[in-house]
Amino acid sequence: MWAFLHKFSSPKYFYALSGRLIPWFGWFCLAFMLAGLYYGLFVAPPDYQQGESYRIMFVHVPAAWMSMFVYMVMAIAGGIGLVWRIKLAEVIAASSAPIGASFTFLALATGALWGKPMWGTWWVWDARLTSELILLFLYLGVIALNSAIEDKRTASRASAVLALVGVVNIPIIHYSVEWWNTLHQGATFTKLDAPSIHISMLIPLLLMAIAFKLFYVVVVLKRARCEVLERERNSSWVQELVKKYET
């Protein structure tokens, strides 16, 4: 088990393995996304209250889920890198930050587009919108810190500390904002056994959620590969790789 982990977490092995895995994840992602979009846009019935415009939910809700999921991945990977000094964990944390920020931005943008016809306004200072906005600020802080420090490994460790501080703060921010002001509709489903959403809408939502996860995996692996090459540029295997491509 440990031997496997050590082997997997070596940058060289990761580079080779991820190269083989990315196409698989990519095709599965495409399949799930096409199925989710088909079911979401054509099969699911229009909402009795919101008509057709609710369909943006199939992008909005998975993006919002991913925005929090990616932050957790980033913080956990950062923590692992901080404690065990595993290079690969640092790489994953560093390459997750921009993706998570993009998901957060996507959730905010689709939320604004959805809010205009439903609430009659692009933006309200509602609890969940506000905490999503603050999450975006936290991401931007991590990205800014990461790019401000020259030495990549120091940068990774510093942003890992910041991400972990953010993890402690996220629930506090979330509940303080919720207490401050709320207008948002209740969570789409809180319990899996009794969701407040019809099954015909739940299926495309879950398909899209899986597609978004797979999309994240593909993009994070691609980014991590570039990051690994950059960080390991002085090692012999990278130089051999470069020579192979040159000839």
Partner 1 sequence: MASDLSAFYILLKRDLTLAYRHRAELANPLLFFIIVVSLFPLGISSESKALQSIAPGVIWVAALLAAMLSLDSLFRSDFEDGSLEQIALSAHSLPLLVLGKVLAHWLVTGLPLIVLAPFLGILLFLPDTAMLTLIATLALGTPVLSLVGAIGVALTVGLRRGGVLLSLLVLPLYIPVLIFAAGAVNEAARGFPVAGQLYFLAALLSLSLTLAPFAVAAALRISLS
Buried residues in 141-168 as b, exposed as e (16+ CB within 10 A): bbbebbeeeeebeebbbbbbebbbebbe
Task: Measure the CA–CA gap between 134 and 177, rounded to whole angstroms.
Answer: 10
Q: Of 56 and 158, which CB lies nearer to partner 1 in the complex structure?
A: 158
Give the count of beta carbons closer than 10 Å to the beta carbon of residue 20: 8
Q: Structure tokens of 214? A: 């797979």
- Return the axis-axis angle of helices 152-180 and 57-84, rounded to nearest 10°: 130
Q: Of 82 and 209, which CB lies nearer to partner 1 in the complex structure?
A: 82
Residues making contact with partner 1 (CB under 8 A): 82, 134, 137-138, 140-141, 144-145, 148-149, 154, 157-158, 161-162, 164-166, 168-169, 172-173, 176-177, 179-180
Task: Measure the CA–CA gap between 216 and 224, rounded to whole angstroms.
Answer: 12
Write down the least CB distance from residue 235 to partner 1, Å: 22
Write down the least CB distance from residue 242 to partner 1, Å: 30
Q: Of 55 and 87, which CB lies nearer to partner 1 in the complex structure?
A: 87
Measure the CA angle with vertex 152, ends 149 and 155; round to 5°.
45
Q: Which residues have a Cβ under 8 Å from the Cβ of 41 and sit 6 or more positions away?
A: 55, 58
Q: Of 44 and 163, which CB lies nearer to partner 1 in the complex structure?
A: 163
Write down the least CB distance from residue 214 to partner 1, Å: 30
Write down the least CB distance from residue 40 to partner 1, Å: 33
Q: Of 27 and 180, which CB lies nearer to partner 1 in the complex structure?
A: 180
Task: Measure the CA–CA gap between 78 and 75, rounded to whole angstroms.
Answer: 5
Write down the least CB distance from residue 160 to partner 1, Å: 9
Contact assessment for residue 89 and residue 9, using Cβ atoms and an 8 Å cutoff: yes
Q: Of 157 and 231, which CB lies nearer to partner 1 in the complex structure?
A: 157
Write down the least CB distance from residue 21 to partner 1, Å: 32
